[in-house]
Amino acid sequence: MSSSSSDEVDEALEEMVDQVVDNFIDSVIDAHPNKQKRRAYIERHREQGHNQLWNDYFQENPTYPPQMFRRRFRMNKPLFLHIVERVSNEVPYFQQRRNACGRYGLSALQKCTAAIRMLAYGQSGDTYDEYLRLADSTSRLCLENFTNAIINLFGDEYLRSPTAEDLQRLLDVREVRGFPGMIGSIDCMHWE
């Protein structure tokens, strides 16, 4: 067989393969013309989540007493409410708005509770779906916006290196509680 006939066979075979591939691609494109995936919508009854949270911790006679609030939120209720108020007044993400259907979105209490509990317990965002009625992606977004808000709103006052008075106060309190010298071991920095 001459090399020219071999080249002709190769070219013919290449043309046939190209034609088959082109036909296959065309059939795939024609079969699925720009078909967009729809996100699955789950009706979470977010109003019910807000009401449950309000009744459990924030109404005049809440289900859970203040010591349970402190244990679960890792802070007292007035501090939590102060944080929620500042964040909801100054950060647009935490302001409750109506959607296109006229329904209110998640409340600032729900968003802040999700973020604080994720920080306090180190759990994933979908842990709070059944109680607070917000999705995993939403709770992660709450956490991101919450941490940014805390840094912006409270960073200058609270997120700073401790002063000599701060350190002495901490040392005095910890010595009474049985942790003398604990400041020197924070993050293995061995402060003087």
> Distance between CA 103 and CA 88 in Å, rounded?
18
Instruction: Give the start-to-end residue ranges of the domains of the chain.
Output: 46-160, 162-192
Tell me the CB-side half-sphere exposure of residue 151, using CA atoms within 13 A: 6
Measuring CA to CA, which residue among 81, 131, 86, 124 is closest to residue 106?
131
Span 41-64, average pLDDT: 87
pLDDT category of residue 28 using cuts at 50, 70 and 90:
low
Percent of the chain with pLDDT over 90: 30
23 to 17, 137, 187: CA distances (angstroms): 10, 40, 63
Cβ proximity of 153 and 86 under 8 Å? yes
Q: What angle do CA 44, 47, 49 make, to 5 degrees?
A: 70
Q: Residue 19 belongs to what H/E stretch? A: helix 3-31
Mutual orientation of helices 136-158 and 77-90 as an angle, nearest 10°? 100
pLDDT at position 36: 66
Measuring CA to CA, which residue among 145, 114, 139, 130 is closest to residue 42?
130
**What pTM value is reported for the model?**
0.65
